[in-house]
Chain A
């Protein structure tokens, strides 16, 4: 790992890092004083150059920053989710103050996502148990989707602008389809219990031969849609497991399970370059790169002494491709660069560091 670039965020603990979708040399970091517990927030916009990582701009907020997203319609604009429930839109070409502030959430705003298809709207999720849909040009939200429990992460489907997903502390994935009529269910079309094992008379086995132990509800902290398989998403959370799901089969249990993290999985991002690869950042201070195994031939599980040979209820286990352990505190953010050969990652952690590195360096031996 010789070619690892580093940037320090003194006095601020990063919560999220995102590459610009416009330039391969620009990224942004949302960070908070005092670990986001109390104090203000700072948005760092960074440039990659021959001299390493340089600070291009910084924007202050009055409360902690927990997430950020780059605008899909303006290369100079980015949006942060703040501890006071507000969302603030900053412009690199404008002054130090936000050009728009969206204040409706009653508790901490925890995630933001821009619509990647229509590019004219974005969503936010909050500890107040709602997901809100916004237009960057209107100060009030277009729509509120009730979830009911602390909602840590909300995403647009990368292939369908009307489909929104979110995950929350009640251990469920919710899928909303805005094309459905506003019925009593507020566009909710599917609710997937992430902890539920595939249906069957017995507890399923993992393809490693162990009995699946993840059948207990746990807070889900992060999720992301696969960029190639338009019905597949992955979740990560407090029970330390990463799971992949096919949203067409809400009761079918996970497609694959990726065990390995030693503490909660805080951030997850599918690769924009390969359909089976994803990266995760965890409170165990590591960032890991995985394959969910979907590109491999299905494996036969090894015979297990405790297993019933008739047990066909088997969940495939993915493969950990590599582990990056240079962070010295919780790893909270990870993102893939859209450009280049593929495999460049940026990660950020509470050790007040942003690291930019090539995932291929992990894969060797």
Chain B
């Protein structure tokens, strides 16, 4: 019974959209759309040895946020809130990220917070900003994500479970390591080693091809950082502007020789699971009416997002449940979607979700995924926005979905439209 609902209902009747819902409705442009005007990411580099191995997460974030100001040329004072998804930082990284925003050039008046929904933190950050804008709490905001797995990955990420948690079987399952439970899931759901290796090899091949063609150029913000040469021990400044996890010439056969990592007779190994990596990504969002007022070019719009829970031991099936839910929220079907960016936590779970949902392989991760260039936990959800929107724009396609599974048994998905 809100005035806005009545207005949009009338608008739909008028816009001549001869269509009751679905894709055509998604493509309509309205002043209250939540749009993305800049989306960017740093390069993603190998944990412990890549270009960012000595760079703090907050420094990566400061670089990405400064990149947002430089590329959008927006007055930083207009940005009212920044949400940063980050998973491993002690204390949630709240202090460092506030400091990073100040370093990047945002005034004290720009609020900052961090959040942690594990592997979907970056997406959750974007969704939170979109919802704050939609609710009228802020006008302009940045959803972001960052992770330095080089510096912050390790056993300290989870504290000991209490007896109470251990006494509840499903609760105790929440701390089963992701590799172990995915191995079990692959076995239970009959996802063969060969099919996983083929999927993983395709990810490498697609990413290598995209990198060679320069398809990541638009989304990657080059960053100058300090790097300690592991051989000579000397510290020098380098510019990191490409994903260093991507390897050319990977085939299903070459992956077939790698030993399984979690069980002797297992199927999951370093070559068909996501890489441990460092990186940051950020997305500048506002209403379409605000973008027009500020002269910001629209890259795409955020439509809706879903979040679901699944059994902790089957966390890999998260996208399988989250994607249909976001379809329900938006009134579209899988045929209306041009590109799916589904995080490749493990080839096994990504492949299972895609097969179960009946998604055509050519629509999934056309520039490769986390298996090829890495999965900096908090960064991934925000990274997918850049990867998706630039690819949709380049290919003249429109509707995209980003999705990922989430540790402890959850899934998220979001629908985006490129313009």
Contacts and interface: CB of A to CB of B under 8 A. Distances in A.
Interface of A: 35-38, 63, 83-85, 107-108, 127, 150, 169-171, 214, 216-219, 221, 238-240, 263-264, 266, 283
B1 A37 contact: no
Nearest to B2: A38
A83 B20 contact: no
A174 B26 CA distance: 27
B1 A107 contact: yes
B14 A264 contact: yes
B256 to A, nearest CB: 49
B14 A263 contact: yes
Contacts of A150: 9
Given A84-B1, A108-B1, A264-B13, A218 B18 contact: yes
A108 B6 CA distance: 9
In which size bucket is the chain B interface? 10 to 19
A186 to B, nearest CB: 22
Contacts of A127: 9
A171 B331 CA distance: 14
A150 B12 CA distance: 13
B20 A283 contact: no
B90 interface: no
A85 B3 contact: no
Contact of B1 (A83, A266, A283): A83
A37 B20 contact: no
B335 to A, nearest CB: 15
B230 interface: no
Given A221-B13, A283-B13, A37 B6 contact: yes
Contacts of A170: 20
B7 interface: yes
A170 B21 CA distance: 8
Interface of B: 1, 3, 6-7, 9-10, 12-14, 16-21
A217 B13 contact: no
B18 A85 contact: no
Contacts of A171: 20
B3 A38 contact: yes
A169 B20 contact: yes
B18 to A, nearest CB: 4
25 contacts: A37-B3, A37-B6, A37-B7, A37-B10, A38-B6, A83-B1, A83-B6, A84-B1, A169-B20, A170-B20, A216-B18, A217-B19, A217-B21, A218-B18, A218-B20, A219-B12, A219-B20, A221-B13, A238-B17, A238-B18, A239-B18, A240-B16, A263-B14, A263-B16, A264-B13
Nearest to A216: B18
Given A37-B7, A221-B13, A85 B19 contact: no
A71 to B, nearest CB: 26
A127 B2 CA distance: 12
A84 B16 CA distance: 27
Given A83-B1, A264-B14, 16 more contacts: A37-B3, A37-B10, A38-B6, A63-B1, A150-B9, A169-B21, A170-B20, A171-B20, A216-B18, A218-B17, A218-B20, A238-B12, A238-B16, A240-B18, A263-B16, A264-B13
A127 B9 CA distance: 10
A217 B19 CA distance: 5
A188 B14 CA distance: 30
B1 A238 contact: no
A36 B9 contact: no
